[in-house]
Amino acid sequence: MSHDTQAGTPHGTHDKLLRMANQIATFFSSQPEAVRAQGVAGHINRYWEPRMRRQLFEHIDAGGAGLSPLVIEAAKSIKRPEAA
């Protein structure tokens, strides 16, 4: 059985990360506009391990298809891990 991969990651894991990022953005979208992106970035910086953040940035660098614009905006404040 073969598995599709994206950036060296099983496709299901990749989709789960995108879904999680978008869920975080959905939660913070109810906050005042001035704190939304920082809220998303702060959550991801605190709770996502470097491997997860690396995969998120690989997806953003490849165009960010399917990500909420709020996640893209928050990426400016998300700590980019070193390459593996």
| Residue 2 within any structural domain of the chain | no
| Structural domains of the chain, count | 1
Split at pLDDT 50, 70, 90, the class of 83 is confident
| Cα distances (angstroms) measured from residue 27 to each of 20, 32, 82 | 11, 12, 28
| Residue 41 within any structural domain of the chain | yes
| Residue 6 within any structural domain of the chain | no
Contact 24, 44 (CB under 8 A): yes
Residue ranges making up the domain that contains 21: 11-77
The overall average pLDDT reported for the chain is 89
| Residue 33 within any structural domain of the chain | yes
Q: What is the pLDDT of residue 7?
A: 45
| Residue 67 within any structural domain of the chain | yes
What's 58's DSSP letter? H
Q: Which pLDDT tens digit goes with each residue over 39-63?
A: 999 999 999 999 999 999 999 999 9
Q: What is the pLDDT of residue 66?
A: 96
Between CA 28 and CA 76 the distance in angstroms is: 16
Q: What is the pTM of this model?
A: 0.83
Nearest to residue 62, comparing CAs of 2, 1, 9? 9
| Residue 43 within any structural domain of the chain | yes
| Residue 19 within any structural domain of the chain | yes
